[in-house]
Amino acid sequence: MAPDTLSVPLLPDLVRLGATPAGKEEAIREAAQLLIAAGCIDPAYVDSMIRREGAANTFLGHGVAIPHGMVEDRELVRRNGIAILQIPQGVRWNEEQTARLVVAIAARSDAHIAVLRRLTRLMQDEERLNALFIATAPALLLGALSEETAAPTPAGPAADLAERFEWTVDYPTGLHARPASAWVEAARAAPGRVQIRHGDQVADAKTLVALLQLGLRMGDRVVVSADGAEAATTAARMKGVITRLTAKEQADAAAAERKARAPVQGWTPPTALPAIAGVAASPGLAIGPVHVVLTAPPAVPDRPESLIDGGNRLHEALDRTRQQLKALADDTARRLGPAEAGIFTAQAELLNDTDLITRTCQLMVEGHGPGWSWHEAVESGAAALAALPNPVLAARASDLRDVGRRVLARIDPSLRGGTLHDLPDTPCILIADDLSPSDTAGLDMARVIGLATAQGGPTSHTAILARTLGLPAMVAGGAALTGLANGTPAILDGQSGRLFLNPTDTDLAAAHGWIEEQRVRRALQEERRGLPARTRDGHAVEIGANVNRPDQVPVALSQGAEAVGLMRTEFLFLERGDAPSEDEQFETYRAMLAALDGRPLIVRALDIGGDKQVPHLHLPHEENPFLGVRGARLLLRQPELLEPQLRALYRAAREARPGALSIMFPMITTLAEIQALRAACNRIRAELDAPAVPLGIMVEVPAAAVMADALARHVDFFSIGTNDLTQYALAVDRQHPELAAEADSLHPAVLRLIRMTVEGAERHGRWVGVCGGIAGDPFGAALLAGLGVRELSMTPRDIPGVKDRLRDSSLTALRDLARRALDCETADAVRALDAGTSDAGAAGTEAAS
The residue ranges that bind ligand PEP (CB under 6 A) are: 334, 566, 568, 607, 700, 721-724, 771-772
Least Cβ distance, residue 729 to ligand PEP (angstroms): 12
Q: Of 211 and 664, which has the nearer Cβ to ligand PEP?
A: 664
Give the footprint of Mg ion on residues 695-724 (CB under 5 A). 700, 721, 724
Least Cβ distance, residue 553 to Mg ion (angstroms): 21
Q: How far is CA 187 from CA 221, 345, 353, in A?
A: 19, 18, 13
Least Cβ distance, residue 497 to ligand PEP (angstroms): 31
Known active-site residue 176: yes
For the chain, give percent helix, strand, coil, nearest 5.
Answer: 50, 15, 35
Of the candidate spans 144-152, 234-242, 544-552, 693-701, the one that interacts with Mg ion by CB under 5 A turns out to be 693-701
CB 790 within 8 A of CB 769: yes
Q: Is residue 631 a contact point for Mg ion (CB under 5 A)?
A: no
Residues sharing a CB contact under 8 Å with residue 661, sequence separation 6 or more, in sequence order? 589, 593, 600, 601, 603, 649, 652, 653, 693
Active site residue: 176, 291, 368, 375, which one?
176
Least Cβ distance, residue 758 to ligand PEP (angstroms): 16
Task: State CA 626 to chain mean position distance.
Answer: 17
Q: Of 68 and 734, which has the nearer Cβ to Mg ion?
A: 734
CB 406 within 8 A of CB 321: yes
Binding site partner of 722, from Mg ion, ligand PEP, none, Cβ cut-off 5-8 A by kind? ligand PEP
Least Cβ distance, residue 775 to ligand PEP (angstroms): 9
DSSP 8-class letter at 609: B
CB 442 within 8 A of CB 420: yes
Q: Is residue 611 a contact point for Mg ion (CB under 5 A)?
A: no
How many other CB atoms are found less than 10 A from the CB of residue 285? Answer: 21
Q: Of 223 and 781, which has the nearer Cβ to ligand PEP?
A: 781
Residue from 110, 115, 103, 83 nearest 3 by CA:
115
Residue from 3, 17, 33 nearest 132 by CA:
17
Residue from 513, 616, 725, 727 nearest 54 by CA:
616
Q: Of 117 and 335, which has the nearer Cβ to ligand PEP?
A: 335
Q: Of 397 and 799, which has the nearer Cβ to ligand PEP?
A: 799
Q: Is residue 73 a contact point for Mg ion (CB under 5 A)?
A: no
Give me Rg for the CA atoms of the chain: 30
Residue from 223, 234, 235, 218 nearest 175 by CA:
218
Binding site partner of 791, from Mg ion, ligand PEP, none, Cβ cut-off 5-8 A by kind? none
Binding site partner of 662, from Mg ion, ligand PEP, none, Cβ cut-off 5-8 A by kind? none
Least Cβ distance, residue 110 to ligand PEP (angstroms): 45
If DSSP states are collapsed to H, E and C, what string results for 720-754? ECHHHHHHHHHCCCCCCCCCHHHCCCCCHHHHHHH
Active site residue: 40, 62, 68, 681, which one?
68
Q: How far is CA 378 from CA 297, 381, 401, 434, 757, in A?
A: 11, 5, 6, 16, 52
Q: How far is CA 840 from CA 319, 422, 782, 808, in A?
A: 47, 45, 11, 6
Q: Of 287 and 699, which has the nearer Cβ to ligand PEP?
A: 699
Q: Of 125 and 607, which has the nearer Cβ to ligand PEP?
A: 607
431-432-437 Cα angle (round to 5): 115
Known active-site residue 68: yes
Least Cβ distance, residue 345 to Mg ion (angstroms): 19
Binding site partner of 777, from ligand PEP, Mg ion, none, Cβ cut-off 5-8 A by kind? none
DSSP 8-class letter at 75: G
Give the footprint of Mg ion on residues 721-780 (CB under 5 A). 721, 724
Q: Is residue 565 a contact point for Mg ion (CB under 5 A)?
A: no
Active site residue: 112, 461, 681, 747, which one?
461
Q: Is residue 355 a contact point for Mg ion (CB under 5 A)?
A: no
Binding site partner of 771, from ligand PEP, Mg ion, none, Cβ cut-off 5-8 A by kind? ligand PEP
Residues engaged in binding Mg ion (CB under 5 A): 700, 721, 724
User: Which residues carry out catalysis?
Assistant: 68, 176, 461, 771
